[in-house]
């Protein structure tokens, strides 16, 4: 009986420790509504020569609706091509279990912003994507192995690493487990 009791509490402990602690950049609760947004997380990093590409995710709960915040950052000494999004833009997440989760962009066209920083060109594109009900629960249990973004003029694939030592942030992370670790932070 003691073994069964110990096993039960051990399983509960493992399940609660598997999810990361929620840390929020934004937490607002007022007469207009509620908004919680997790800290940004580096999902993809590629540096080749002078060209640097980064994809950051954060999760929000906007009045009970979970939202994925997507940010694409390009840095280069040369001209940087603009990636644009519109209401037809979709973000596809391929999971390790073989399923594909589709997220929709509800907003109008956006091509991001361009700036010059320390003699380098920087282009930043930020967008919000809505989760669809099908396969939403699969994100909580299966790692993400790749991401495809259907921009207005082309489709780009991003391979999500199981483990990553970021040169930009100088920290270790596990991007494939992002939704497993943090999706619970924006659920009601």
> Look-up: residue for tokens 């669809």?
132
State how many domains the chain has: 1
Instruction: Classify each residue of 2-32 as buried b or exposed e, where b means 16 or more C-beta atoms within 10 Å of its C-beta.
Output: eeeeeeeeeeeeeeeeeebeeebeeeeeeee
Per-residue pLDDT at 2? 53
Please give the chain's pLDDT, 188 residues, in tens. 554 444 444 444 444 445 678 999 988 888 888 899 999 999 999 999 889 999 999 999 998 899 999 999 999 999 889 999 999 999 999 999 999 999 999 877 899 999 988 789 999 999 999 998 877 899 999 999 999 999 999 999 999 999 999 988 899 999 999 999 999 999 86
- Rounded distance between C-alpha atoms, residue 11 and residue 5, angstroms: 10
pTM: 0.85
Q: Is 106 buried (19+), middle (13-18) or exposed (0-12) by CB count in 10 A?
A: exposed
CB 92 within 8 A of CB 150: yes
Strands 100-104 and 113-117: what pairing? unpaired
What number of residues does the chain have?
188
Assigned token pair, 107: 């907003």
CB 107 within 8 A of CB 65: no
Strand partners, 47: 52
Strands 90-95 and 144-150: what pairing? antiparallel
Q: Which domain holds residue 173?
A: 2-186
């Amino acid at each position: 009986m003691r073994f069964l009791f110990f096993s039960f509490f051990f399983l509960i402990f493992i399940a609660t420790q598997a999810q990361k602690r929620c840390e929020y950049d934004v937490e607002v609760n007022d007469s207009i509504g509620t908004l919680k947004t997790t800290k940004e997380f580096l999902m993809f990093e590629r540096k080749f020569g002078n060209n640097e590409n980064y994809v950051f995710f954060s999760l929000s709960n906007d009045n009970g609706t979970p939202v994925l915040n997507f940010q694409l950052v390009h840095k280069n000494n040369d001209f940087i091509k603009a990636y644009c999004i519109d209401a037809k833009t979709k973000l596809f997440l391929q999971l390790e279990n073989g399923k594909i989760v589709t997220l929709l962009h509800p907003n109008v066209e956006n091509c991001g912003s361009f700036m010059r920083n320390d003699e380098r060109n920087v282009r930043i594109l930020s967008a919000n994507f809505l989760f669809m009900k099908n396969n939403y629960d699969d994100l909580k249990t299966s790692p993400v192995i790749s991401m495809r973004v259907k921009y207005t003029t082309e489709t780009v694939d991003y391979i999500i690493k199981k483990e990553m030592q970021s040169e930009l942030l100088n920290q270790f992370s596990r991007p494939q487990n992002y939704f497993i670790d943090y999706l619970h932070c924006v659920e009601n």
